[in-house]
């Protein structure tokens, strides 16, 4: 038998009542395999529990209501304690009790109550993030005179703010308790802390709240998160049902009605670089509902200490925006748990800096087949520091997620799917991204590609050569793509490692290393300027320039096309050398195989006669690739590939295939005209998709 929550009841009030915080529902669960009987008793008589007994089948649960009854109204001022005992009368397993504390204050005396009565229970992998790691508590003066209070925690990985305050009779204060970045350095295990709320005036209502943190070596998701720090924020509230745009919006009781009204309370900066918030950031807390939004969001310049945050107050999926969201020139903008469902281009960022999308759902309306769906679901142009975590992005006839000219950031634990072309591009001079722990599926041309093709004028200096630089694509799942699972189309220092691909390449091949493309889409002046700086590309329309690849490492991946499913033509597509157009600045010959490494992969795809797929002139020999990889010699044994579980079985043949050691990149052969900032040369992959550490001899795949 288990009983939750683990906390007791702490109530207070004046002589004669009422008593705040005086009730709690407990869930009693039979976690065993046979039925059990239980009883509930309470003491003293001012406590009521119901029901007093019951029977639970295996796996069943029921609710026990515990409350302070009218008998407490006769108690004199003082502190009282009671106990509720829940007994497993079948076998005694799980017997437990809950404490009930009641503080009765003299009429007119100061008394403190703290709600909710529950503590914090949080879990996560080593290094974070930690789910459920924060809670706002309301401290109330339920007495008749003013009181002072303090709130303090006893562990460095917990933050409690503010630490103290004073309350007039009937007034309230909010205390935010959260698990901070100090928890990221904790090893796997269970940790606890206590937050103590003290009425320093007379002690009435003193109470505590527990903080429980469980850190697993592998909890089912790869670790990693953008660190928002501890920003200074003005809270704004939006409620479409009860709000009014004439309110000040600074509390839930005085909420605004529309997101636009809240957005307009954030200071506007008319031009890029024209200033930034300097005294407070803004957090817009949006209540459950469907909302209209501004046609164009622009000119909000947050900073790390003073960001601009839009969040769904009740969590992912509770706030729906059925309109396109177009955002220009915004900095330190964090969008959390919103759901955007639209038919134009659900989310579009242009010229932004430090953007966080976390827990966001972006879905295009319409059909891919007749092009009534959006071209892209999320599009990001010419921006920097983009962080995308725990999002679901889907349904576009071209790409679900498209980044052009975006530098620095990461993509962690997202689902990016249902696209007519590639599910996701990082192209147009995009650079310095880690793409880890994501799932890509239902793509037409393919799953993910580093690079592709770009109009020269849409790139940003100095990233004017390759389509993509320094991309780490690791621990991802890619499945059910008509084209290649993964591609590199004009990339420099691209790592494709420890990924698992399933049912990929039915119309082509499973992995590609091919040329990117560069053209001029109309702005010949900008293209000529970029070419004169040493960028690679044409200066006139009607000319296509092939963009080469350099230093592509495809290592320790698994590709499994089960019997009855195979790629159409070959395993790989690796293109041979070409001569670039005169004046394009592209090295001659342009090659896709310079520094190409393909090692340690398990590939099961079709028959033994399936061609490797290298074009004429490729210097990496097909014989070497056959020797360095297990191609159609190991049919991977997964727990349930058809059902989406790609963990190796306990005795899987995958476990016996040892990976080659990872080799780092160098930046010594990067283009120098114009010079590009050096990336991260380390190719270390320290965890698997479950968040468990990769130590010792490793085997291929995401798990």
Tell me the pLDDT tens digit for each residue of 281-332: 999 999 999 999 988 999 999 999 999 999 999 999 899 999 999 999 999 9
When pLDDT is averaged across residues 96-104 and rounded to a whole number, the result is: 91
Residue 107 confidence (pLDDT)? 67
When pLDDT is averaged across residues 636-663 and rounded to a whole number, the result is: 93
Residue 12 confidence (pLDDT)? 86
When pLDDT is averaged across residues 80-104 and rounded to a whole number, the result is: 91
Name every residue whose Cβ is closer than 8 Å to that of residue 686 and which is 6 or more positions away in sequence. 693, 694
Q: Hey, what's the torsion of the CAs at 600, 606, 611, 612, to 10 degrees? A: -20
When pLDDT is averaged across residues 374-401 and rounded to a whole number, the result is: 97
Residue 20 confidence (pLDDT)? 85
Residue 435 has pLDDT above 70, yes or no: yes
When pLDDT is averaged across residues 379-394 and rounded to a whole number, the result is: 97
Query: How many angstroms separate the CA atoms of 99 and 92, rounded?
Result: 19
Tell me the pLDDT tens digit for each residue of 608-621: 999 999 999 999 99
Residue 219 confidence (pLDDT)? 40
- Partners of 326 in the β-ladder: 348
Please classify residue 606 by burial: count the beta carbons closer than 10 Å to its beta carbon, then call 0-12 exposed, 13-18 middle and 19+ buried.
Answer: buried
Contact 293, 319 (CB under 8 A): no
Residue 106 confidence (pLDDT)? 75
When pLDDT is averaged across residues 179-184 and rounded to a whole number, the result is: 88
- Going by C-alpha positions, the residue among 486, 540, 476 that lies closest to residue 513 is 486
Chain-wide mean pLDDT for the chain? 93
Tell me the pLDDT tens digit for each residue of 356-370: 999 999 999 999 999
Residue 145 confidence (pLDDT)? 84
Residue 455 has pLDDT above 70, yes or no: yes
Tell me the pLDDT tens digit for each residue of 506-522: 999 999 999 999 999 99
Tell me the pLDDT tens digit for each residue of 330-349: 999 999 999 999 999 999 99
Residue 603 confidence (pLDDT)? 98
Residue 218 has pLDDT above 60, yes or no: no
Query: How many angstroms separate the CA atoms of 569 and 582, rounded?
Result: 33
Query: How many angstroms separate the CA atoms of 326 and 293, rounded?
Result: 10
Residue 221 confidence (pLDDT)? 63
Query: pLDDT band at residue 693, thresholds of 50, 70 and 90?
Result: confident
Residue 674 confidence (pLDDT)? 97
User: Three-class SS string for 411-477?
Assistant: EECCEEEEECCEEEEEECCEEEEEEECCEEEEECCEEEEEECEEEHHHCCCCCCCCCEEEEEEECCE
Token pair of 378, please? 């999320």
Residue 576 confidence (pLDDT)? 98
Query: How many angstroms separate the CA atoms of 76 and 66, rounded?
Result: 22
Residue 196 confidence (pLDDT)? 95
- Partners of 47 in the β-ladder: 68
Task: Give backbone dihedrals phi and psi of 304, rounded to 5 degrees, phi first.
Answer: -60, -40
Residue 691 confidence (pLDDT)? 87
Which secondary-structure segment (H or E) carries 298?
strand 297-298
Query: pLDDT band at residue 213, thresholds of 50, 70 and 90?
Result: confident
Parallel, antiparallel or unpaired: strands 147-153 and 9-14? unpaired
Query: How many angstroms separate the CA atoms of 201 and 206, rounded?
Result: 11
Residue 129 has pLDDT above 90, yes or no: no
Query: pLDDT band at residue 217, thresholds of 50, 70 and 90?
Result: very low
Largest CA distance in the chain: 97
Residue 134 confidence (pLDDT)? 84
Q: Which residue has the higher pLDDT, 686 or 441?
A: 441
Reported pTM: 0.71
Query: pLDDT band at residue 122, thresholds of 50, 70 and 90?
Result: confident
Q: Which residue has the higher pLDDT, 117 or 604?
A: 604
Contact 198, 167 (CB under 8 A): no
Residue 662 has pLDDT above 80, yes or no: yes
């Amino acid at each position: 038998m288990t009983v939750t929550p683990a906390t007791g009841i702490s109530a207070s009030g004046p002589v004669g009542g009422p008593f705040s915080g005086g009730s709690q529902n407990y869930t009693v669960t039979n976690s065993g395999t046979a039925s059990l009987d239980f009883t509930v008793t309470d003491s003293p008589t001012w406590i009521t529990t119901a029901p007093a007994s019951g029977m639970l089948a295996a796996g069943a649960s029921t609710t026990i209501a515990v409350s302070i009854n009218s008998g407490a109204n006769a108690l004199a001022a003082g502190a009282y304690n009671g106990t509720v005992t829940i007994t497993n009368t079948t076998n005694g397993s799980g017997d437990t009790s809950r404490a009930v504390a009641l503080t009765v204050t003299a009429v007119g005396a100061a008394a403190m109550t703290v709600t909710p009565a529950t503590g914090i229970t949080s879990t996560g992998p080593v290094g974070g993030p930690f789910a459920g790691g924060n809670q706002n508590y309301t401290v109330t003066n339920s007495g008749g005179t003013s009181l002072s209070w303090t709130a303090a925690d006893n562990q460095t990985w917990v933050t409690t703010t503010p630490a103290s305050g004073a309350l007039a009779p009937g007034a309230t204060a909010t205390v935010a308790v959260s698990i901070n970045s100090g928890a990221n350095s904790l090893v796997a295990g269970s940790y606890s802390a206590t937050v103590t709320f003290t009425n320093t005036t007379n002690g009435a209502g003193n109470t505590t709240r527990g903080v429980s943190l469980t850190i697993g070596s592998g909890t089912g998701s790869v670790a990693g998160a953008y660190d928002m720090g501890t920003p200074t924020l003005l809270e704004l509230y939006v409620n479409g049902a009860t709000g009014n745009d004439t309110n000040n919006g600074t509390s839930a009781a005085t909420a605004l009605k529309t997101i636009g009204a809240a957005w307009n309370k954030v200071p506007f900066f008319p031009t890029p670089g024209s200033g930034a918030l300097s005294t407070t950031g803004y957090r817009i807390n949006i209540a459950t509902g469907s909302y209209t939004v501004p046609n164009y969001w622009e000119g909000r310049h947050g900073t790390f200490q003073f960001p601009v945050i839009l969040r769904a107050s009740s969590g992912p999926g509770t706030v729906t925006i059925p309109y396109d969201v177009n955002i220009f020139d915004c900095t330190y903008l964090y969008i959390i748990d919103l759901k955007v469902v639209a038919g134009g281009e659900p989310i579009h960022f242009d010229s932004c800096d430090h953007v966080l999308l976390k827990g966001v759902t972006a879905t295009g309306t319409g059909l891919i087949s007749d092009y009534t769906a959006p071209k892209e679901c999320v599009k990001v142009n010419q921006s920097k520091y983009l962080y995308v975590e725990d999002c679901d992005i889907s349904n576009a006839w071209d790409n679900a997620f498209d980044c052009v000219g975006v530098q620095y950031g990461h993509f962690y634990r997202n689902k990016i799917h249902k696209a007519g072309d590639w599910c996701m591009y990082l192209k147009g001079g995009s650079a310095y991204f880690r793409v880890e722990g994501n799932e890509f599926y239902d793509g037409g041309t393919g799953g993910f590609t580093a690079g592709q093709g770009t109009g020269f004028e849409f790139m940003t200096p100095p990233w004017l050569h390759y389509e993509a630089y320094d991309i780490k694509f690791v621990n991802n799942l890619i499945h059910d793509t008509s084209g290649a699972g993964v591609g590199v189309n004009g990339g420099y220092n691209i790592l494709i490692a420890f990924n698992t691909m399933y049912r990929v390449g039915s119309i082509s091949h499973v992995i590609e290393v091919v040329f990117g493309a560069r053209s001029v889409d109309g702005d010949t002046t900008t293209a000529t300027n970029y070419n004169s700086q040493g960028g690679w590309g044409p200066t006139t329309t009607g000319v296509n320039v092939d963009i080469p690849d350099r230093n592509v490492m495809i290592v320790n991946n698994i590709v499994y096309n089960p019997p009855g499913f195979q790629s159409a033509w070959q395993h790989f597509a690796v293109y041979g050398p070409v001569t670039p157009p005169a004046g394009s600045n592209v090295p001659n010959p342009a090659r896709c195989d310079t520094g190409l490494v393909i090692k340690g992969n398990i590939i099961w795809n079709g028959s033994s006669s399936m061609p490797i797929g290298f074009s004429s002139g490729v210097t990496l020999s097909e014989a070497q690739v056959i020797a360095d990889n297990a191609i159609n010699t190991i049919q991977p044994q997964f727990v349930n590939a058809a059902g989406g579980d790609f963990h190796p079985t306990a005795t899987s043949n995958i476990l016996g295939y040892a990976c080659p050691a990872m080799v780092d990149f160098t930046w010594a052969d990067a283009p120098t005209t114009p010079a590009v900032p050096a990336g991260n040369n380390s190719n270390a992959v320290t965890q698997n998709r479950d968040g468990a550490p990769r130590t010792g001899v490793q085997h291929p795949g995401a798990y």
